[in-house]
A and B are shown apart, each in its own frame.
Chain A
Amino acid sequence: MYRRTLTAALAAVPLVLLSACGGGGDDADGGSGSAAACEPSGEDVELTFVTWVPGMDQVVELWNQKNPDIQVTVQETPAGNAGTYNNLFNGLEAGTSPDLSQIEYDSLSSFRLQDGLTDISACPGVADAEGQFADWTWQQTKLGDDGVYAIPQDSGPMALYYRKDLFDQAGITTPPTTWDAYYEAAKQLKQATGAYITHFPQADANWFTGLLWQRGASLFELDGDQVRVTVDSPEAQEVAQYWQRMIDEDLVATNLQGFSPELYAAWTNGSVASWPSAAWGYSTIRDNAASTTGKWAVADLPQWAEGDQAAGNWGGSTTAVLSSSDHPAEAAEFALWLNTDPEALALENELGGLYPAATAGADLPALEQGIEFYGGQTIFDVFNAAAGEVDTDFTWGPTMTDTYTAMSDGFTDALNGQGTLVDTLTAAESASRESLEAQGVPVAD
């Protein structure tokens, strides 16, 4: 019968397959980008640009009208970690990628490790542009040496979004200025209103990293020719212990994924009352909890010690010239325009909700106005102040994907009471080491 045929046939699969795979062999890849001379070709060029900022096609259209000799085609893709990085990495491995791409700060190092970035420091205009950007954003693009590997696009200085009405109801009249006060507020809030003060998102490892950033707990150090892994630092453990206590005492919602409809429903019905988040988050709340208009306000992120002014950053992207580009000078020119031209910045803010990395962005009319949803508060004053306080020394590792993965897997356990956030750091530290070693990167002890 057929089944017997199938059984017999399947039994022979490995043999046949092995013999079908004759020889093989792999070739070496790699080679570092060099800061070679960077001159425009003087010819008409066409560039491709990968981005997932909504409305970016309209910004690029503006460029194309003004620059007939450098025409840019936009490829709108899913967000980086939703598949685009994969696609770009694969393309690098295979030697096919676009000229430019949006790349988040935390992934720059990974791209450099895969030999995906061009050092554009020698390209016209790049060196002079340093002063136009928030210090830390420019610092991030240097990746520990003298090169410039991308142009900062936007950033995510963090502050505290909170439901003023619920806080008032619980008798919390001034927003908590320290994390200790935040903890006390969480208890008060839970008792008075039944609401959680915030949610602990399992997947947003970069949110947690933003909080580590504020504490000065850099995840890595690029130490000469070696990478030092400091994921499990004492400072990081302090942050972990703090949030572990919030979880243990049931003061934060543990079953709400970030950016999920559930979370939005919780914001809408008042069962979650605040969100330590980035500047770009203002539209997330506004658009997804529209019926709570006028009830939210923004305050500085709580501090670890009274009187401090440390800020954290969550997210933000750069525009990077990829190593496969034949026209780095033109690509760099476009990237600079995209991220410094006032008209472009205004459009990006309007259509894509970006908080610009360029300091000139703070003067955008849209960022100076009071926002109706936040009761008319000029919330960007808070973020502008925070942007100036973000630690410039924070460093990402070249294998952040694995570090993040280990973190969010650890969060899963911690949120289920099968481990703690401190365990998470330990696991993430060793996972980071392993993955660095798998990439052949020298790791300091």
Chain B
Amino acid sequence: MSGSLAQRASRAQASARQDGRRSTTDSPLAIGIAMVLLIIAAVYFLVPIYWLVVNATKTQPDLIGSNGFLFSTWNLGRNLSDLFSRSDGIFLRWGLNSLLYAGLGAAVGTFLSAMAGYALAKYSFRGREALFTLILGGVLVPATALALPLFLIFARVGLTDTYWSVFLPSVVSPFGVYLSRIFAAASVPDELIDAARLDGASEWRVFVTVGLRLMSPALVTIFLFQFVVIWNNFLLPLIMLRSSELWPITYGLFSWQSQVSRDPSLQILTVTGSLVSVIPLIVTFLALQRYWQAGLTAGSDR
């Protein structure tokens, strides 16, 4: 029975357009239960963030000595000025580095992925599946397996401890290619490509005017996810970089944390720094919300 329902569902799906949201007639009780569950889940997800906000405002002794969920002596201003003045403002530098690695890296990476994914979806050539397979295999490789040999190779060409050593590997996203291929196949109709070609457009122009345009909501999604992956990357900078002026923010915070036993004032700075460092990410996500939520469904709007 469920099989037939599902079958009918997919048949209907094939013909229907997405329209207004459903209204399954639910009892108030069911809605009430649903709301309670949703609120409990929200508390679970927000409590640690609340903790971070509260404790970023405290003094070092209060961080250890006062209740973690309650505000104590308000010291946020002092923490912030300490944070940004420590070691000649290195924190800001780390933040800009992270923006550079993640922002530019994700932008370049998304573009490369889009091209490759588009080609894999829209051109047929010998060895295409083998190539796709090889790229997908990249998703499976553990980060440690990659980072160490990469360091040794980079060292031979003198690239370690440079911006490039973190930036270059970051632009490669096999996963982005995988997504691009799906999105290109789903959202770029062959008819449009052919029509553009008949108009005499070059292959590049077809890609830019038809491919990129139709894939754009999906590309925002790919961009954002790659942005987060690079922003959160910890192992690669750990292995590649020695000079603190090249570090991204996560590694910088980690290094402060590792010095806490020698200099306890770093503890509160780590907490405040953590809060400050997640703000750009949250802002980016909120600002681009419309796009990435559209991107998530892009493949299915047909």
Contacts and interface: CB of A to CB of B under 8 A. Distances in A.
Q: Do chains A and B touch in the complex (CB under 8 A)?
A: yes
B264 A287 contact: yes
A96 B65 contact: no
Contact of A288 (B152, B161, B238, B264): B264
A268 B243 contact: no
Interface string B248-271: 000000110011111111010000
A10 B136 contact: yes
Nearest to A84: B242
Contacts of A132: none
Contacts of B148: 90
B65 A268 contact: yes
A369 B261 CA distance: 23
Interface residues of B, number: 39
Interface stretch (A74-82, A239-247, A410-418): A74-82
Contacts of B264: 264, 284, 287-288
Contacts of A79: 258-259
Contact of A96 (B133, B155, B263): B155
Contact of B61 (A54, A93, A290, A353): A290
B151 interface: yes
B258 A288 contact: no
Interface size class of A (residues with CB under 8 A): 35 or more
B160 interface: yes
Interface in A1-57: 2, 5-6, 8-10, 12-13, 16-17, 20, 50, 52-54, 57
B137 A77 contact: no
B130 interface: yes
B133 A10 contact: yes
A66 to B, nearest CB: 22
A71 to B, nearest CB: 16
Contacts of B112: none
Given A2-B182, A9-B129, A16 B155 contact: no
B160 A91 contact: yes
Given A96-B158, A287-B264, A90 B244 contact: no
Contacts of A287: 263-265
A94 interface: yes
B87 interface: yes
Given A83-B258, A96-B155, A288-B64, 4 more contacts: A20-B134, A82-B255, A291-B61, A352-B262
20 contacts: A5-B132, A12-B133, A16-B134, A20-B134, A52-B262, A57-B87, A75-B242, A76-B87, A78-B258, A82-B255, A83-B255, A87-B238, A90-B148, A91-B160, A93-B152, A94-B152, A96-B160, A98-B242, A288-B64, A291-B61
